[in-house]
Structure 1
């Protein structure tokens, strides 16, 4: 692979077309109106100063522009990562809260995420995104949305409420409201911003809702002097960019940071692959999963070196860039440049922005994370998947964000294991109006051959389901009339492990003693070679292996003279 393969930014510059320039610049300016308020809001969601959200936004956009393969994806601070960052960083910060210590730990977390992601990309581990199934993603995001919503309600009402976990945070919020801590001015401007965002997103989606809400909130703050009424304002931002700073942490903190980094990496990777796939389908591009991991890793590393924190792909910001005419990563570079110019020349531009308005931005984002229609569809289409989704939701809501992601991954893996453990099984018969052999449960009038049972087992035959397979064959051997052959339609069986091989050997001996033969048809070549290595042909008659079900049926009919008959 050449330099352009490892550094897609080189290819992007070499293939850039001049006619894209105006569209990219305009899209970058429009995108900035979303980057600034969301970057600040999501930094505070992560328990960090708002300014660090802007530092993070600038550096991750530049890092991805160089190493990211997608022309259109926009990275930045993300609402789904904010609670995870806070869950890792805040417990490690000394009591009383030290913003500088929190920033240092968040930067170290970003560096670790970047290194893990880059190493995984180099090792071609993009398949790790599959560890979160769709139902667990829906449940996890629903739990995350509720967690974010509850955490931002005190800010919306103008007071602070401390609590560990969703239940305690809810109780703290209710106690604060009951004690009369709500600031009417703060609640008013917060609700104004939230309703404005939701209404514009619903009815006028082409208008930058977040920008309008931010500008409107600043106008209200200046007009009514909300600061004098106890409403917390953002205040002037530090001028310029921070110096290059190598993140560091103590060995005592390393374990929790690493665990958090792994969880954040998985969520970020899953989000990025799904978002990249969605937008690539629209533009005719191909998703380069491993290079995406490298691009996200580079973005995280770049941000971490300048007091930034972990980032991910943003579907909303990517959609804004696409709708604004973006053609390349120059859009993100323009956005980063505008933010730098703002920090250098007009750092006080947002000093009158009310904090409740930032809370409204986060709450609006949390509502977009929730997928209630998707949950309803799971209920209608597949109840087991619905239960998995609900379990993931409860894991996040009751255990916390980090344990929740562990629970979500565990549920995904267990759900796969469940399908292998108890796979679908079917007895097959012949229907006159269809070719082949079909499940007699679906076609109860299917004809069968007396003395022959065809059985299909829809899973690899391994240690986890060997007993299930054996018990089902034993039941079939007891059926009337007594079967002479039990033919396994083995095409779905993609593997046979040692445990299953031992089970087949003892089962075949057991059936032979009862006058029944175990016959295998349609075995895949790799599985047949394993059967030979296990020396199962010393037990199972080599003549009882057939390339197709039709061949097995023809051999049985020639041997016995049996003819098809309708079921009794």
Structure 2
């Protein structure tokens, strides 16, 4: 029902001539508008701003600092910073060495490549990266993807040399893609991997990785190359006669040790170093145990000989010929995007904790360049893994020098200590991987998604189920497709609401959200909650017609004042295309035929510009376009009251139009 005091108030406003004409923005040249749109898409941070009004020498310095961020903080570097970075670098090296060997095995690559990949890429990133906390190294998900995608084309056991060369080539193309995205300012593409997608994908990949480690835990020599749950379980339970109890007991003991240390460090954050040192401690204890008991002769598989020396060049090993080049490109693109998303997300998370800013496009260039350099120096794909970066952060790192310290520790290991890993049991590496992967299964995030947004939960579970029961690629595709479908649904089927007046105010809100909001007799106010494009124009036309039909039926059944005005609140309509304008013209024709008046309220600048150019404003009449819903309702109420007192009055006459 209407509000009497409100009716008096609005009539007084109208009679006093309070009405604001909705302005049409001045016309802008097409290329100027296009330039603005492109700038906001590709250069929202305006990287050239700092170069303005600077002398040439200063521009050169700023340019060098932009490409090599370490030049910006290096002059201010102090001995106190070095002490903190030294401790952090040694701590993450103790984690990087066993993890590097483990993840290389996960990728079906020689274990030494895990150490190579923890030497050259961190040095490149330290010079070009903008994050102070990111610790560079190999990651389990990218390792699994590499094994899964390359393993379909080349068997790593039958043709290890070609498989190795394809891994280098995939890393090269991943680096090219990553650097290109940064140089072309296309970082927004990574944003298409939503939070829900990442949660489900990471959890699925972690589950698959853990299942794959049953090979090492049970001491199996033959195992399925497939990653799906059914294939893995079939492979495990059809070889029960091959299970090695010695390996199983050893694996469970070390896994228990790793999980206990992780739990302790989580409860006592000051003792984070206990969890960080646990993998290296496990490797040392496992190697000593095997060496003293000769367990390698009783079914416990060991790494074997690792050759000494730094990274050999591999630029000549890259494969740029058919039929394997497309496999390398596809693997590089998928692993590169996943690694990029993880690295940037981790870097931004820790930057937020320390209240500094990292440039996403700079990070892409840095990660891309380190992978290009890595592919030429016997490394495979690297990024900034969360586990290693968290240890780096907790260890109190100050700058990227911690990556240099870690690289130096790995260099010493490569030059002098690799023979010590000869007796390292593979089951220990499997335990290290499982312990790391369990942390990627984020139950709390999934529960939060279920509570907050069921559709996001479906996206998350789609990614998880696709990875676990299909493959890593299938899970990723499912998640991205569901996310895109959601976006398309929002665009194609935007929400429309009926608005009512909050009592004793000039505020209008959705009547479903605010049941106490009053309807205005003879007027229906509809809010369109999205831009109007070709994809939703037909739907909106039909939905507006249905709202009108429903309102008229309701008024007839209640015997209230008949419907006379349709007010469209377009405050949320950020843009409109020609299909949308045609839709509005058709709605106006429909309302005219039914003896109703169409009123537009709160149109934005872009919408007004297009309505003006299409002559829609001239067609509907300037007096029927209002600045706010309140003014539109006031105008309609004034006309309703005027018509009651003077039925012969022409309703098309403009009222107090100033």
Alpha-carbon distance between aligned partners in 2 of 1:304 and 1:26, rounded to the nearest angstrom = 29
Structure 1 Cα separation of the partners of residues 421 and 185 of structure 2: 43
| Counterpart check, 1:320 vs 2:430 | no
2:294 to 225, 233, 237: 225
1:327, distance to aligned residue in structure 2 (A):
1.1
| Aligned counterpart in structure 1 of residue 631 of structure 2, from 517, 532, 551 | 551
1:106 aligns with 167
Counterpart selection for 1:237 from 298, 306, 321: 306
**1:265 positional shift:** 2.4
1:119 to 153, 172, 180: 180
The answer on whether the counterparts of 2:343 and 2:383 sit within 8 Å (CA) in structure 1 is yes
In 2: Cα distance, 1:499 partner to 1:436 partner: 31
State the partner residue of 1:60: 121
Gaps of 5+ in 1: 564-568
Question: Residue in 2 aligned with 1:189?
Answer: 250
Q: Does 1:25 align with 2:105?
A: no
1: CA distance between counterparts of 2:458 and 2:81? 48
1:215 aligns with 2:291: no
1:437-480 Cα shifts (integer Å, max 9, x gaps): 11111222321211111111211111222232112210122223
Find 1:340's aligned residue among 384, 389, 411: 411
1:78 matched to 2:139? The reply is: yes
SS at match of 1:252: coil
Q: TM-score if structure 2 supplies the norm length? A: 0.82
SS at match of 2:531: coil
Shift of 1:538: 4.7
Give, in whole Å, the separation in 1 of the partners of 2:421 and 2:402. Answer: 23
Alignment of 1:494 onto 2:571: no
Residue 466 (structure 1) aligns with: 537
Q: How many angstroms apart in 2 are the aligned matches of 1:505 and 1:251?
A: 57
Q: What is the aligned partner in structure 2 of residue 365 from structure 1?
A: 436
Counterpart-to-counterpart distance in 2, 1:542 and 1:433: 29
Report the Cα offset of residue 238 of structure 1: 1.0
Query: 1:374 is matched with which residue?
Result: 445
Q: Which runs of 4+ in 1 moved over 4 A?
A: none
Distance 1:320 1:13 in 2: 23
Deviations 1:312-371, CA, capped at 9 Å, x for gaps: 211111111122221111111111111111111222121111001111111112211111
RMSD: 1.9
Aligned position for 2:232: 169
Q: Is the 8 A contact 2:612 2:618 kept in 1?
A: no
Q: Aligned equivalents of 2:340 and 2:506: distance in 1?
A: 44
Runs of 5+ unmatched residues, structure 2: 1-61, 267-271, 556-561, 644-658
What is the CA–CA distance in structure 2 between the aligned matches of 1:509 and 1:257, rounded to whole Å?
58
For residues 384 and 93 of structure 2, the distance between their equivalents in structure 1, rounded to whole angstroms, comes to 16
Task: Output one character per residue of 1:28-86: Cα deviation in whole Å (capped at 9) or x when no partner.
Answer: 11111100011111111112111111111111111111111111111110012111111
What is the aligned partner in structure 2 of residue 566 from structure 1?
none
Kindly indicate whether the alpha-carbon contact (under 8 Å) linking 2:135 and 2:388 is maintained by their aligned counterparts in 1.
Answer: yes
Residue 521 of structure 1, CA deviation: 1.1
CA drift of 1:92 comes to 2.7
Secondary structure at the residue paired with 2:573?
coil
Post-superposition shift, 1:96?
4.6
Q: Relative to 1, partners in 2 of residues 1:77 and 1:434: Cα closer, same or farther, differing over 3 Å? A: farther
Q: Does 1:432 align with 2:503?
A: yes
Answer yes or no: is the 8 Å Cα contact 1:143–1:392 preserved in 2.
yes
Q: 1:272 to 1:562 in 2, by over 3 A?
A: farther
Structure 2: distance between partners of 1:522 and 1:397: 49
Distance in 2 of aligned mates of 1:516 and 1:384: 39
Does the 8 Å contact 1:138/1:375 carry over to 2? yes
Alignment of 1:469-484 (within 5 A): 469-478=540-549, 479-480=551-552, 481=555, 482-484=562-564
What SS is found at the alignment partner of 1:376? helix
- State whether structure 2 residue 524 is matched by structure 1 residue 453: yes
For 1:254-269, list aligned pairs within 5 A. Answer: 254-269=325-340
1:522 aligns with 2:593: no
1:387 aligns to 2:466 (yes or no): no
- TM-score of the two chains, using structure 1 as the length reference: 0.95
Tell me, yes or no, if the aligned pair for 1:103 and 1:307 is still in contact at 8 Å. no
Q: Describe the SS at the equivalent of 1:47.
A: coil
Q: Which has the larger radius of gyration?
A: 2
| Cα separation, 2, equivalents of 1:294 and 1:360 | 34
SS at match of 2:130: coil
Mapped partners of 1:156, 1:433: distance in 2: 71
Secondary structure at the counterpart of residue 251 of structure 1: coil
CA distance in 1, matches of 2:637, 2:154: 77
SS at match of 2:140: coil
Confirm or deny: 8 A CA contact 2:121 2:374 kept in the other structure. yes
Instruction: Work out the CA distance in 1 between the residues paired with 2:642 and 2:167.
Output: 74
Q: How far off is 1:108 after superposition?
A: 0.8
Say yes or no: does 1:92 pair with 2:92: no
Residue 139 of structure 1, CA deviation: 1.5
Pair 1:41 & 2:102 matched = yes
Contact 1:163-1:172 at 8 Å conserved across structures: no
Contact residue 156 and residue 360 of structure 1 kept, 8 A: yes
Q: Does 1:51 align with 2:120?
A: no
- Is 1:503 the equivalent of 2:583? yes
Residues 143 and 393 of structure 1 are in contact (CA less than 8 Å); yes or no, is this contact kept in structure 2?
yes
**1:42, 1:94 → 2: CA distance?**
18
Is the aligned partner of 1:418 residue 2:468? no
Contact map agreement 2:462 2:475 (CA 8 A) in 1: no
* Structure 2 counterparts to residues 397-416 of structure 1, below 5 A: 397-416=468-487
Per-residue deviation, 1:547: 1.4
State the alpha-carbon separation in 2 of the partners of residues 33 and 279 from structure 1: 21
- Shift of the 94–272 alpha-carbon distance from structure 1 to 2, 3 Å rule, reads closer
Counterpart in 2 of 1:309? 380
Deviation at 1:518, TM superposition (A): 2.2
CA offset digits 1:245-280 (Å, max 9, x no partner): 212232322223222222222212221222112101
**How far, CA to CA, are the matches of 1:562 and 1:408 in structure 2?**
58
Question: Which of 146, 156, 160 is equivalent to 2:207?
Answer: 146
